[in-house]
Amino acid sequence: MLNPPSLECRAHEFKRLRRNRRSNAIRSLVQENYLVSHQLVAPLFVLEGENRIEAISSMPGISRYSIDVLIKEVIKLYELGIRAIDLFPVISAEKKDPMGSEAILEGNLMQRAVQCLKNAIPEMCVMVDVALDPYTDHGHDGLIDAAGRIVNDPTLEILAKMSVLAAEAGADVIAPSDMMDGRVGFIRQALDNAGHTDVNIMAYAAKYASAFYGPFREALQSAPKFGDKKTYQLNPANWREGLRETLCDEEEGADFLLIKPALSYLDVICRIREMTHLPIAAYHVSGEYSMIMAAAEKGWIDADKVLAESLISIKRAGADFILTYGAERMAQLLKKGWGFA
């Protein structure tokens, strides 16, 4: 039986721990996790028209942009070291219908935005959100039947067409956020059949039915008109369910696995990291971002420090890259030499 360490040994160990923290230089040497701009993804909202910028009241510092202004914003992000964006279309009410017909219309807003961005900044990785909620008048991610239930397989057909349209426009990554069963494999097959074998799929592998999506739904004008999304998004009380969903998406051919939200689900990120070798993304969602900014506006916290601490916790949990509305702000801080040491 081993004897417990003596008080003298323990005191020696405590001093060693403190010695490794005693200066900025030493703290930097032993820092375990880092934030870098090229592992931040900026979610962006695009709308119709020209020279349009619409501030989003519930997301301080975030706006919707017409394509011409969006290009300028993306160039700015690229100059800050950000190498990927995720596009979300803001569809006007008159173009929405129960079938989300605008989603598969040739030359729609999303397709034009991707084409213009890839022509202007071909080096930028353009991710495209694939789900029906921006396009349907009922606000759900899938088609509905006469009883108001989400129907899975007919929705897959539309998601596949949306994905091929995005790939044809030049999208680098398809990001299906709908949470329909089997959509990753269905989209992979559709992309491959259309000759887009080099287009990645970032699966929303564990997307929870979260209360943190409120500001996003305002930004996208996509809140469900009836019911909720609990029949296709995950129960916040479950982590094993998240692992099962993730394994399914990996088996179906996902290239990246995304967990959403991030901060409230760090345990899920950590568990998924332990079971897969695929790259893991985490979505620092609108509510998580807006809480920081709202508290900072009240003078209660330092927005920069809390944003950085939030993002490093996501990296520490095991995420390889992070989607965050604070991407530009964090990249600006990093360019100025921000560090935790």
Q: How confident is the model at residue 339 (pLDDT cuts 50, 70, 90)?
A: confident
**pLDDT band of 222, cuts 50, 70, 90:** confident
> What is the chain's mean pLDDT, rounded?
93
**Does residue 61 form part of some domain?**
yes
Q: What is the mean pLDDT of residues 201-225?
A: 91
Structure-model confidence comparison of residues 283 and 24, the more confident one? 283
Q: Give a yes or no: residue 26 inside a domain.
A: no
How confident is the model at residue 118, as a pLDDT? 97
pLDDT for 194: 98
Beta bridge pairs of residue 210: none
Structure tokens at 169: 């426009």
Non-local (6+) Cβ contacts of 100 within 8 A are 132, 135, 136, 143, 158
Contact 201, 173 (CB under 8 A): yes
Tell me the two tokens of residue 77.
Answer: 């992000």
Sign, Cα dihedral of 293, 47, 123, 319: positive
Which are the catalytic amino acids?
Answer: 207, 260
pLDDT value for 340 = 84
Domain membership of residue 23 (yes or no) is no
Domain range for residue 148?
35-257
Q: How many domains does the chain have?
A: 1
All residues at 6 or more sequence positions from 82 whose CB lies less than 8 Å from its CB, including other chains: 37, 38, 40, 41, 42, 327, 328, 331
Cα–Cα distance for residue pair 249/259, rounded to 1 Å: 12
The proportion of the chain whose per-residue pLDDT surpasses 70, expressed as a percent, equals 95
pLDDT at 160: 97
Domain assignment present for 277 = no
State the CB neighbour count (10 A cutoff) for residue 50.
Answer: 8
Determine contact, residues 302/296, Cβ cutoff 8 Å: yes
Residue 291 maps to a domain: no
In a domain? residue 318: no
Give the pLDDT band (50/70/90) at residue 212: very high
Q: Where are the beta strands (DSSP E) in the chain?
A: 40-47, 53-55, 63-66, 84-89, 125-130, 143-144, 150-151, 173-176, 200-207, 256-260, 280-284, 321-324
CATH number reported for the structural domain that contains residue 71 in this entry: 3.20.20.70
pLDDT digits (tens, 9 = 90+) for 48-79: 999 999 999 999 999 999 999 999 999 999 99
Compute the distance between CA of residue 70 and CA of residue 212 in angstroms, rounded to an integer: 25
pLDDT in tens, 83-142: 999 999 999 999 999 999 999 999 999 999 999 999 999 999 999 999 999 999 998 989
- Return the pLDDT at 86: 98
Q: Is residue 320 part of a domain?
A: no
The answer to whether residue 273 sits within a structural domain is no
Q: One-letter amino acid identity for 141?
A: D
Residue 74: C-alpha distances to residues 65, 68, 79, 127, 185 (Å): 11, 10, 9, 13, 31
What is the token pair recorded at 290? 């807006």
Sign of CA dihedral 101, 102, 106, 110: negative
Residue 166 pLDDT more than 80?
A: yes
Region 290-294: what's the mean pLDDT? 97
Q: Which candidate, 127, 145, 133, 55, places its Cα nearest to that of 96? A: 133
Please name the residue that has the structure tokens 């959100």.
129
| Higher per-residue confidence, 225 vs 131 | 131
